[in-house]
């Protein structure tokens, strides 16, 4: 079978199939199936965002990030390039993934477990709000780059479009809850809504949160006000 | 000031002071302050329980576990002795803490984060229920001990006395919820009640759960049905 055009994400296909099946059976749609888009919950492992300037210092003049894997949000990718992070107590994290494309700030997002291992007291910050946070040293194959600030534990958040926000009855800046099922399920409070026309509906949680509830691809997740 | 008799735990003293203050002010007690005992929520880092036989193989004939730190449950302690755990893919965890006193089974309790680092697919089990689980190799200063089974992620649980169970309206084997406050708060579902006359009211969560919500000594916690 040949596939023309861009491939749809599996979650989108499942969501469409679910809607059609309910329709064919003549049954009313349960609330999640009636949503304009499927809910994706993805675990973000520790990673960093870099400026083009930092990329060139770390990987050499003229270097560009290259795509290792496309992420769910349009145009975002995990880069092939990785770094070594050196913390203030000379402890190290190797193979720190870089997410592309380049941004206009340098930021490292760690889980509290990483922070404890490094001896960092991580501040909980909305991505981009790094003023007054601790920095670190980054080491790449072509050199060192000192970040004076920008090491954070990112605030839990959900990306959504205005259409999704309308469905859930929320607006940008609101807080929601994410209920994760399974034998060690939990409810994450204070999930910040980040709304933009370009966003696909997706929750980002970190590895501590994902492992606290053993989140698996088949685990049920429900987003509520 | 001299202190006679056994020292009261800080949480117990705070609980008593709170009760007296409300009484003196002539105000009604809020529900948690009216509980027979204060609620302790402690993070259990990865650890193991050993038989006396295993202790002697690992630390030498006639060896006994020695107390590093007394735990909140009566008679339980973190031992000075630690071990190296070698997983099935030859990956290693060093300085694995042993909890004493010795038991009649060998069991290693890890967080899912540890399991991922070791390449273990950890089963979620009630402590003691280890039949059919994977094992590991333990290394001590005097030798190796092969555990054929017993590596688990322990089920969340709350220890309580019959008096506490009556206050909360639950019985042994029931499931409760633990609401943890703060800027990245959450609610842990399926918190199993383990009731015994000897138990002090205490919730044990693991490092993934503790770090998912950045649990600190001052973080508010509420146990509900």
A–B interface: beta-carbon pairs under 8 A: 71
The minimal CB distance from A184 to the residues B113, B156, B183 is found for: B156
Closest approach of chain B CAs to the CA of A62, in angstroms? 35
Closest approach of chain A CAs to the CA of B210, in angstroms? 8
Reported as a pLDDT band with limits 50, 70 and 90, residue B35 is: confident
Verdict on whether the full-model pTM lies above 0.90: no
The minimal CB distance from A211 to the residues B113, B186, B187 is found for: B113
Q: What mean pLDDT value characterizes chain A?
A: 92
Confirm or reject contact between A190 and chain B (CB < 8 A).
yes
Strand, coil or helix: what is B117?
Answer: helix
Between positions 78 and 117 of B, the ones with CB within 8 A of A are 111-113, 116
Strand, coil or helix: what is B112?
Answer: helix
Residues A64-73 pLDDT 10s: 999 999 999 9
Confirm or reject contact between A184 and chain B (CB < 8 A).
yes
Closest approach of chain A CAs to the CA of B22, in angstroms? 30
Confirm or reject contact between B129 and chain A (CB < 8 A).
no
Lowest mean pLDDT among A57-71, A155-169, B8-22, B169-183: B8-22
Q: Is A146's pLDDT higher than 60?
A: yes
Question: Where are the extended beta strands (E) located within chain A?
Answer: 40-44, 47-49, 67-70, 77-86, 92-100, 107-109, 124-125, 136-140, 143-147, 151-154, 157-160, 175-180, 186-195, 202-206, 221-224
d(CA A111, CA B44): 18
The mean pLDDT of B66-90, rounded to a whole number, is 95
Angle at A111 between CA A109 and CA A117, to 5 degrees: 110
d(CA A186, CA A209): 9
Per-residue model confidence (pLDDT) at position A19: 82
Are B112 and A208 inside 8 Å of each other by CB?
Answer: no
Q: Is A11's pLDDT higher than 80?
A: no
* Peptide linkage before B40 cis (omega within 30 of 0): no
Q: Which residues of A fall within a CB distance of 8 Å from B211?
A: 111-113, 116, 208, 212
The minimal CB distance from B111 to the residues A189, A190, A211 is found for: A211
The minimal CB distance from A211 to the residues B112, B187, B190 is found for: B112
- Does the structure's ipTM exceed the value 0.90? no
Per-residue model confidence (pLDDT) at position B169: 97
Nearest residue on chain A to B181, judged by CA atoms? A189
Are A188 and B189 inside 8 Å of each other by CB?
Answer: no
Q: Which residues of A fall within a CB distance of 8 Å from B209?
A: 186, 212
d(CA A74, CA B10): 52
Residues B139-155 pLDDT 10s: 999 999 999 999 999 99
Lowest mean pLDDT among B56-60, B97-101, B117-121: B117-121
Residues A74-130 pLDDT 10s: 999 999 999 999 998 889 999 999 999 999 999 999 999 999 999 989 999 999 999
d(CA B209, CA B44): 10
Closest approach of chain A CAs to the CA of B36, in angstroms? 27
């Amino acid at each position: 079978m040949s596939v023309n055009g861009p491939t749809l994400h599996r979650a989108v296909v499942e969501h469409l199939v679910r809607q059609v099946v309910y329709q064919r059976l003549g049954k009313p749609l349960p609330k999640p199936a009636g949503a304009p888009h499927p809910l994706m919950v993805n675990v973000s492992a520790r990673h960093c965002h870099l400026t083009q300037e930092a990329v060139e210092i770390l990987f050499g003049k003229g270097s560009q990030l290259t795509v290792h894997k496309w992420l769910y949000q349009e145009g975002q990718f995990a880069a092939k390039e990785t770094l070594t992070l050196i913390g203030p107590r000379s402890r190290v994290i190797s193979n720190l993934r870089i997410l592309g494309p380049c941004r206009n700030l340098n930021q490292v997002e760690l889980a509290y477990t990483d922070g404890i291992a490094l001896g960092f007291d991580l501040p909980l910050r909305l991505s981009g709000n790094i003023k007054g946070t601790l920095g670190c040293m980054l080491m790449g194959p072509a050199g060192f780059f000192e970040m004076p600030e920008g090491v954070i534990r990112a605030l839990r958040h959900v990306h959504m479009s205005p259409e999704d926000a309308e469905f859930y009855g929320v607006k940008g800046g609101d807080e929601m809850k994410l209920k994760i099922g399974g034998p060690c399920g939990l409810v994450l409070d204070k999930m910040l809504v980040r709304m933009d026309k370009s966003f696909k509906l997706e929750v980002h949680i970190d590895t501590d949160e994902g492992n606290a509830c053993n989140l698996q691809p088949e685990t049920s997740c429900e987003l509520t006000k």
